[in-house]
């Protein structure tokens, strides 16, 4: 994959002025940005192989940004950053639960946005191990292929987002070790923790829901240590 393709960003923003501001700034940061002003045109043009990251405004004229996030996540595991005008936990949590990886709240600093983009891209590229020997973790009935970024549970394939996979593989590779929310955030998101508790909680809840075995609903994989954080028990 050449550098120009790796640096192409998918932007869905209904405000032309804000979109142009983001596009021009990121151009100066060596990114290419393809911008769409509504959900329909964005989704009709989306190709997960063309982009490495999506920026999605939640307030669109024809459909909710939540619908765009949901549609993107069905096709691709690329990082998604929400752009929202509401400093409201409900929208943030809903977007994260649909598979988004991060968010920024308007008005935001373009420096902060760029830092979040780079942090998510670093995390996305961290596990690009093409051509290397496969690394597979096993925990109970889970088989976690770190190289291929796939997870199976008793042979059943689980569809995890990039962030959910990163959390699971980190915990599974350190059985018995307790991770605080701060430690999880800094190791997964690759940036300092400033109390982003809802981000960690949303991804953890979604991951646990996907790990729930319908044949054995009482089975647990990730243990909550109240006041401390999370861990996977040693087998």
pLDDT, residue 76, reads 87
Under 8 Å CB-to-CB from 58, ≥6 apart: which residues? Answer: 64, 65, 66, 82, 83, 84, 85, 86, 91, 95
Q: Which pair of structure tokens corresponds to residue 103?
A: 């968010």
pLDDT band at 95 (very low <50, low <70, confident <90, very high): confident
The predicted pLDDT at position 183 comes to 92
pTM, full prediction: 0.67
Q: Is 144 helix (H, G, I), strand (E, B) or coil?
A: strand
Q: Grade residue 19 by pLDDT with cuts at 50, 70 and 90.
A: very high
Higher pLDDT, 88 or 211: 211
- Name the band, by pLDDT with cuts 50, 70 and 90, for residue 235: low
Closest CA to 159 of 98, 210, 120, 97: 210
Picking from 61-65, 108-112, 214-218, which range would have the lowest pLDDT averaged per residue? Answer: 214-218
In the predicted model, is pLDDT for residue 16 greater than 90?
yes
Domains and CATH numbers, the chain: 3-126 (3.40.50.2300), 136-231 (1.10.10.10)
C-alpha–C-alpha distance, residues 186 and 202, integer Å? 16
Q: Is the pLDDT of residue 84 over 90?
A: no
Q: What is the pLDDT of residues 21-75, one digit of tens each?
A: 999 999 999 899 999 999 999 999 998 888 989 999 998 999 989 999 999 988 8
């Amino acid at each position: 994959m050449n550098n120009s393709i790796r640096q192409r960003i998918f932007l869905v923003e209904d405000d032309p002025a804000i979109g142009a501001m983001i596009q021009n700034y990121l151009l100066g940061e060596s990114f290419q940005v393809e911008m769409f002003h509504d959900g329909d045109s964005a989704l009709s043009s989306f190709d997960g192989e063309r982009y490495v990251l999506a920026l999605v405004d939640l307030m669109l004229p024809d459909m909710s940004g939540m619908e765009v996030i949901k549609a993107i996540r069905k096709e691709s595991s690329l990082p998604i950053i929400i752009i929202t005008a509401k400093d409201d936990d409900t929208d943030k949590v809903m977007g994260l639960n649909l598979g988004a990886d991060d968010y920024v709240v308007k008005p935001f600093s373009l420096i902060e946005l760029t830092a979040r983009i780079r942090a998510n891209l670093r995390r996305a590229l961290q596990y690009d191990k093409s051509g290397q020997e496969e690394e597979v973790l096993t925990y109970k009935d889970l088989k976690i292929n770190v190289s291929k970024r796939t997870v199976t549970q008793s042979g059943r394939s689980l569809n995890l987002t990039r962030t959910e996979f990163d959390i699971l593989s980190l915990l599974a590779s350190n059985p018995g070790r307790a991770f605080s929310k701060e430690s999880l955030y800094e190791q997964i998101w690759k940036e300092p923790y400033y109390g982003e508790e809802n981000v960690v909680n949303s991804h953890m809840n979604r991951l646990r829901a996907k790990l729930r075995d319908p044949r054995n609903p009482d089975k647990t994989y990730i243990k909550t240590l109240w006041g401390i954080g999370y861990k996977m028990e040693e087998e």
